[in-house]
Structure 1
Amino acid sequence: VNHNWITIESTDQQAEFSVVSDATSETVQYSQLVSLGPYPVGDYYSVNAAFGDGQERDVVIKLRTGSSTEPFINHLSLNPDENCRFGILSDIYDNPIPNAVVTIGSHSVYTDDDGFYLFCGLTIGSQYNISATSGPIELVSLSMVEIDSGIGWFNMTSQIIPEKPAAPEFLLQSFDMSIAESPRTIDWSGGDYTDHFELFIDGELAYRGFNEYYEFAPSEPGTYVFSLVAINPNGTTDATKSLTVVVLDDAGAGFWNVGMSWSYDVDYYPVSSDGTHNVTMTVAGTESMIDAFGNPQDCYLMKVVDEYDSPDRVRYHWIDTDNLLKVRTYSETSQYFVDGTMGWSYTTDGNQETNLFSGTAAFAHFNRTNIIGVPGHPNGYDDTTNTVTIVEGVIIETPSGTYSTTYYKITDQNDNVDSWELWYNDTVRNWVKIVDRLPGSHSESVTYHLNGFSGMPSQPQFVTETSTINTKHYTVEWGPFASATSYDLLRNGEIVYTGESTSFAVENQDDGVYEYQITARLFSGSQVSSEVISIEVDFKIPTPELNLPYAQDLAEDTGLYIEWTQTIDADWYALQHTSPDGLVTEVYNGTDNFFTFDELEEGQNRFRANLGFDGGKYSELSNSSYVNLITPPTDESKDVSFVSLFALVTVIGLAAIVLNQRGENDE
């Protein structure tokens, strides 16, 4: 494998032939067909012919792959009255020119990747015209060369700078389609000096020709990567960017996938003090919600970010998967929250239930409840009946471009005001413009103008975000991708899960930083990987709580039963005692969450507990419990106290008598 032979024929039966290279040396005598080798292909070899009359010829050959039998691809004709010509064809920058045609007399050969060419069988003493061309371009002008018996090196340099084709470009970098939309035209533009194109799908040649388009007709869902090459006789030029096409199965494909996003210029009335807002909405997952009518609705969960949001602002929308309208909105800051629930019910002219995109919706019943978490602020309630008007093919201009849309108008039957106007575009897969006039009062309005959208993600998207968490147990989630047959979840480069699920539960994870990536395996056999997310586990061990009162008095030490909450399955629990004189002692360390302490000291005893793991991580100390041991006096001590008191009173009485008598004597 990757080796081949050099074959030689000659009219001189006395000749001897040698092959020399950096790695080999071999000499053989004449035969009707001389074979030397096999040698590695792609290398250069010096071949010497020593003829019977004493003459020698030296030839250089580059060994090629190909037939080792007739016709022999590495074949030399070496005779005493003939010689060879060989060399390198290059440009003025010393770059080799491959695939050029070198002509000597009536014979022509193509240069290889090194620009190397070789002719043999040229009669010594004869003159030949030699030239080099590339298609219609003359690289080396016609000149005369005389063949002699010396070494046959003849390098040529073209003064013409060969023009390679300009890079072709796909008109799009990505798009999604369903099987039902097949075939879909893939368009590109070619540049100067292009003869033809080659289009590849997942590395396999799909088209070769002059057209600047290709009809793509996939037979199954998946993600397909297109690459494009422009070709002329001087070389090839790749397109600077590839094209990714996500093909979805019609069944259950839905409107959106996790990771899709849209951004809007949003204008408020009354006018916001910040003017026009830029708002981005990103699909984070799916959830079931109960709408304002009490009915369960499948919803897309959208994370909403306004450029003017405060750092503590959290904002989510839940969008009905059938009608792409809000079922719930939630916004929260450190000072207030607003929680809105909506319900939509569509019917036909015949009072049959339907949805907005059916094309048959004629009436809409709308209900909204806004809970506003600000003390003293009234909540909001709306309930309206509406007519629905649908117009196809309406052209609308937005900051992101001009779109052909389906226009929906929802008109309040009570006052004939258009509560909503919505323009939907299939490519965007969303509304390109929305006018929302507050139902009921119509005193406020919000207008959304599309200024950008992501399209269908060309790689799997995580629902879980890069974060730091304080628990050992967590779940990594990702969204369904196209029609993936299975997923591989990698943690720090190693597969930890393979299967069809879109989530993976992690338990008892040690502290550290963990990088996750998801790879989707597709019907086509190809794989598509997500971006990497990082989860830092910084486990905060919960603090136990003593099941004792904050303070209590005891008259005797009969054994104090102490228990604390078992907040987590720890490796050990410890109980700490502080004596009345301030000495701190660990009186228990074990696996139980209780202990009986029978060494209370007179005065205030303090108890606290904590827990931890053998690896060295432990909790804060628990709440304190103070136990005052106040020992009551015994009967004997009472008698002693009485005698002492009697003696004291007697002494005081005697002293008083003495002082009184002394006073009388002084008088």
Structure 2
Amino acid sequence: MRIQLSLSLILLLALCSPLFENAAGNETQVFTISGKVFDSEGNPADSTSIRVDSMASVWSSDGTYSVSGISEGQHTIRAYFMNNGHTVAYRQIYVSQNIELDWHATKNWITLHAVNQSGEDLDNGLTPTFELVETGESASTNNGRAEFGPLPIGSYYTIKANIGGGESEAQYVRMKLQEGSLTETHINDFKLHQNHNSRYGYIVDQLGNPIQNVQVSTDNKSSLTNSDGFYQIENLAVGSVYNMTVQQANVDIIPSFNETITFGEGWLNLTSNVELIFPDNVSFTTQVQAIQQEPLTIEWAGGDFTDRFALYMNGMLVYNHTDPYYTFIPQTAGSYEFTIEAVNLNGSTASSQPLLIMVLPESSSSDLWSTGMSWDYEVTHTPLSMYGTHNITITTLGQEIIADAFERQREVYLTRVYDEHHSEGEKSYKWYDAETLLPVRTYWVDAPSESSYFQEGTLGWNFTSQGSQANPLSGLENQELHFNRTNIIGVPGHPNGYDDTYNSVVVTENVNVTTPAGSFSTTHISITDDTDGVVSWEFWYNTTVRNYVKITDRLPGSHSDSVSYVLTDFEVPTQPQFIIDEYLMSNKDYDVKWGTFQGAVSYELFENNVSVYSGTGTTFARNNQLDGTYAYRLVAKLPSGHSMESEEYVLSLVHVVQPPQFNPIESYTTEGEDVMLSWEAVENAIWYSVTLQNDNGDTQTIYNGSEPNFKIEDIEQGRNRLRVNVGTSEGKISEWSPSVFIMVEETESDSAFGEIQAYLPGVGFGILLVTILLIITNYRRLSDESQ
């Protein structure tokens, strides 16, 4: 019986063993990428973030890193050197085992994958070879894949590949090694098809200067030239004939031609005889700001070669004209993003930085936050910021309704964030949910004198309890939170940020907290990530302060591991508050604005102790102000007959006169014809000065007078550059205006006379020759007669 039982068990195990093997084989195998990170000098790098696909970032602070849990297959991996030049490198990597990969700041890899003519993996018996031409280095292959690097970013490299053929069947690709970005993760990755080749080269003008943004196209493939004029089209079938077009702004700058694809180096350098001049850069001079629901003049500065400007509001064209300004009349409260392009016949040039204008609605007396309320915080970053501790002030400007990261319409408070370390013109705004008082949107823009960098974040805090919407300030237990954030980083090469987490929420009442602003009884909110068990946020809310008195943020979405906010002071306004973003003004026309003061029936505004306005509005326009210092006081009058007076607000004005703008003129004329110039009149102008620069670079003043027009007589042949500036009765002198160019061509009679002049030397020589022959013939005849 025991023998029979044993045999039965053995038989059962034998039958089940394939099932166990299949179950084990179905387990997903994962791998690890690890290594070191170095700065550009070869020393261990400071804080560096390594990220694979959309997995969580791994931070290296000691020069080493390790990312685990990576499945087999093709992946994107990037390194962001936070403290070593803010540089980044994206590359492709195929993972089928544990990999050691060392990173160097300012370096990246070239990655290659050889495939057959159909784009599929090569047969097992076919092994491609790859060579880096500049060094002669060869790369080992694995399943048709190879790589070279790390190599210095910004240099050009040529790859020679042989996929199953002899030396005469080599194909080439050439490229400029780049950092890559979130939208260009494959920028240095090449899939090379068998029996195909590339065409690459430089496109230059007649003087040998590179031409940027030229599109070289054939069939369904195209390439845009970079700043060096370089282009490349890959994977063209050998033996085929392709029709190539070369265009800039949809204009042929080289006639189309046919190109037969052969093996070997793929150089195809091209020279254009057509010169297309695009508009110079355009940028907003109006800065990001919050305004009441009243008209605002948006201004910008263009450059040379500009015919007109195209202004877009939230993606829609709202202005298409020559004036460098537009009057924005908001119909509803909200945020409006403006973009601007300079346009001429050849194309357009867009501003690199948008302009954000926030239109505030009227405040309600029932709002938890009202205009002018402010909170001061001591902010500490870990690792510590280069400035150490930051002291910031968050001031309420008004309310609006915006969409959060989950596309839910949320009522929010718009606030201005002042940081003691901000440069002049640097601005930061945050939008806080009116229920949870948590940020739904963030916006920061650098000072125009520093850079055009910006950052914009969109957040979503979806609190629920037993499937229904909840608010952590309500005290409900057993809450959950789905958090989402996208940070758009307007810094070249800087990766954008993205977070999406599910969390558990614990709310505890009556927790005592002491800060520099005092001791408070608070509602403590603790939010824990369900995936890793980390407490991502802690908030301490106090009803008297109407805000959080302490915040610990361990998922800040910035360069820091954590950020803490500790309340140092707060103010619930007991007096009217001015809302003015600038303390130094350069425009003599400006608005004095103030927030709605609860209970006020009217306001009186004083300028340098003189009453200048009395009424129910919250904005007063000042026009044609002289340079100087202006002190403003506001008195809010209450129904009881009492009044509340604001603190004094001091503004300094130094008016900058904008240069005149030429009215459109003909770009071409004929020698001998008069040219009528005119420009927009400038207020209080007493003189205008016009200069002309000819083809030789010689500059002269051709007009100095008080009228905004002038007729040019006897303008020289060739290209002439004209500019105008203005002087005013206030003693101000503007900068020079954007240039206009007039090409003066020779007249037809001059051209005909030139041809005759060119012909005359030949005619003269012929007459001279005939005369000499006649003299010789006559001399011989006379000699014969004398003999």
- 1:417 aligns with 534
1:368 CA displacement = 1.0
- 1:272 aligns with 384
Q: Is the 8 A contact 2:691 2:701 kept in 1?
A: yes
Q: Which moved more, 1:324-333 or 1:619-628?
A: 619-628
1:363 CA displacement = 3.3
**Residue 496 of structure 1: which of 600, 603, 612 is its match?**
612
**Residue 444 of structure 2: which of 319, 331, 334 is its match?**
331
From the superposition, tell whether residues 302 and 491 of structure 1 become closer, same or farther in structure 2 (CA, over 3 Å): same
From the superposition, tell whether residues 298 and 510 of structure 1 become closer, same or farther in structure 2 (CA, over 3 Å): farther
1:545 CA displacement = 3.9
1:252 CA displacement = 1.0
**CA distance in structure 2 between the partners assigned to 1:379 and 1:515 by the alignment:** 43
**CA distance in structure 2 between the partners assigned to 1:442 and 1:614 by the alignment:** 52
1:422 CA displacement = 0.9
- 2:433 aligns with 320
1:327 CA displacement = 1.3
TM-score (norm 2): 0.44
**Residue 487 of structure 1: which of 603, 618, 640 is its match?**
603
1:289-321 alpha-carbon deviations (Å, 9 max, x no partner): 432123343433334345566677543322223
1:430-488 alpha-carbon deviations (Å, 9 max, x no partner): 212212221899993222233x1133234322121552222233222222334323221
Q: Which ranges in structure 2 are unaligned for 5 or more consecutive residues?
A: 1-362, 780-787
Q: Is the 8 A contact 2:459 2:484 kept in 1?
A: yes
**CA distance in structure 2 between the partners assigned to 1:401 and 1:587 by the alignment:** 67
Instruction: Work out whether 1:560 is the aligned partner of 2:672.
Output: no
**CA distance in structure 2 between the partners assigned to 1:264 and 1:577 by the alignment:** 55
1:569 CA displacement = 6.9
1:41-56 pair list within 5 angstroms:
none
Q: Secondary structure at the match of 2:473?
A: helix
**Residue 713 of structure 2: which of 578, 587, 599 is its match?**
599
**CA distance in structure 2 between the partners assigned to 1:422 and 1:401 by the alignment:** 16
From the superposition, tell whether residues 586 and 318 of structure 1 become closer, same or farther in structure 2 (CA, over 3 Å): same
1:388-409 alpha-carbon deviations (Å, 9 max, x no partner): 3222211123344432111122
**Residue 263 of structure 1: which of 353, 365, 377 is its match?**
377
**CA distance in structure 1 between the partners assigned to 2:655 and 2:461 by the alignment:** 44
From the superposition, tell whether residues 571 and 522 of structure 1 become closer, same or farther in structure 2 (CA, over 3 Å): same
Q: Secondary structure at the match of 1:517?
A: strand
From the superposition, tell whether residues 265 and 630 of structure 1 become closer, same or farther in structure 2 (CA, over 3 Å): closer
- 2:551 aligns with 434
**CA distance in structure 2 between the partners assigned to 1:567 and 1:329 by the alignment:** 41
1:32-431 pair list within 5 angstroms:
251-268=365-382, 271-272=383-384, 274=386, 277-288=389-400, 289-306=402-419, 314-333=427-446, 334=450, 336-349=453-466, 351-360=467-476, 362-431=479-548
Q: Which moved more, 1:641-650 or 1:424-433?
A: 641-650
Q: Is the 8 A contact 1:550 1:624 kept in 2?
A: no
Matched to 1:260, the amino acid is S
Instruction: Work out whether 1:447 is the aligned partner of 2:564.
Output: yes
Q: Secondary structure at the match of 1:543?
A: coil
**CA distance in structure 2 between the partners assigned to 1:422 and 1:587 by the alignment:** 67
Matched to 2:655, the amino acid is F
From the superposition, tell whether residues 390 and 250 of structure 1 become closer, same or farther in structure 2 (CA, over 3 Å): farther
**CA distance in structure 1 between the partners assigned to 2:686 and 2:654 by the alignment:** 20
Matched to 2:714, the amino acid is L
1:285 CA displacement = 0.9
1:369 CA displacement = 0.8
- 1:544 aligns with 660
Matched to 1:263, the amino acid is Y
From the superposition, tell whether residues 250 and 585 of structure 1 become closer, same or farther in structure 2 (CA, over 3 Å): closer
1:615 CA displacement = 5.7
1:554 CA displacement = 1.6
1:72-110 alpha-carbon deviations (Å, 9 max, x no partner): xxxxxxxxxxxxxxxxxxxxxxxxxxxxxxxxxxxxxxx
C-alpha root-mean-square deviation of aligned residues, in Å?
4.5
1:424 CA displacement = 1.1
Q: Secondary structure at the match of 2:436?
A: coil
Q: Is the 8 A contact 2:671 2:717 kept in 1?
A: no
1:14-66 alpha-carbon deviations (Å, 9 max, x no partner): xxxxxxxxxxxxxxxxxxxxxxxxxxxxxxxxxxxxxxxxxxxxxxxxxxxxx
- 2:642 aligns with 526
Q: Secondary structure at the match of 2:392?
A: strand
Q: Secondary structure at the match of 1:454?
A: strand
1:417 CA displacement = 3.5
Q: Is the 8 A contact 1:406 1:423 kept in 2?
A: yes
Q: Secondary structure at the match of 2:571?
A: coil
Q: Is the 8 A contact 1:520 1:527 kept in 2?
A: yes
1:491-514 alpha-carbon deviations (Å, 9 max, x no partner): 222222223332223344444432
Q: Which moved more, 1:545-554 or 1:403-412?
A: 545-554
Matched to 1:403, the amino acid is F
**Aligned residues with identical type, % of pairs:** 35
Instruction: Work out whether 1:506 is the aligned partner of 2:619.
Output: no
Q: Is the 8 A contact 1:281 1:302 kept in 2?
A: no
1:567 CA displacement = 8.3
TM-score (norm 1): 0.51
Matched to 1:445, the amino acid is S
Q: Secondary structure at the match of 1:402?
A: strand
Matched to 1:535, the amino acid is L
1:606 CA displacement = 6.0
Q: Which ranges in structure 1 are unaligned for 5 or more consecutive residues?
A: 1-248, 662-667
Q: Secondary structure at the match of 1:457?
A: coil
- 1:471 aligns with 587
Of the two, which has the highest radius of gyration?
A: 1
**CA distance in structure 1 between the partners assigned to 2:484 and 2:705 by the alignment:** 62
Q: Is the 8 A contact 2:431 2:440 kept in 1?
A: yes
Q: Is the 8 A contact 1:576 1:588 kept in 2?
A: no
Matched to 1:625, the amino acid is F
Q: Secondary structure at the match of 1:357?
A: helix
From the superposition, tell whether residues 355 and 383 of structure 1 become closer, same or farther in structure 2 (CA, over 3 Å): same
Matched to 1:455, the amino acid is E
1:599 CA displacement = 3.0
Q: Is the 8 A contact 2:505 2:526 kept in 1?
A: yes
From the superposition, tell whether residues 569 and 367 of structure 1 become closer, same or farther in structure 2 (CA, over 3 Å): farther
**CA distance in structure 2 between the partners assigned to 1:259 and 1:652 by the alignment:** 102
Matched to 1:367, the amino acid is N
Q: Is the 8 A contact 2:395 2:417 kept in 1?
A: no
From the superposition, tell whether residues 303 and 576 of structure 1 become closer, same or farther in structure 2 (CA, over 3 Å): closer
Q: Is the 8 A contact 1:394 1:407 kept in 2?
A: yes
Matched to 1:433, the amino acid is K
**CA distance in structure 2 between the partners assigned to 1:535 and 1:518 by the alignment:** 14
1:551-571 alpha-carbon deviations (Å, 9 max, x no partner): 7462442x435454x487787
**CA distance in structure 1 between the partners assigned to 2:630 and 2:660 by the alignment:** 28
**CA distance in structure 1 between the partners assigned to 2:602 and 2:470 by the alignment:** 34
**CA distance in structure 1 between the partners assigned to 2:521 and 2:693 by the alignment:** 82
Q: Is the 8 A contact 1:570 1:611 kept in 2?
A: no
Matched to 1:320, the amino acid is D
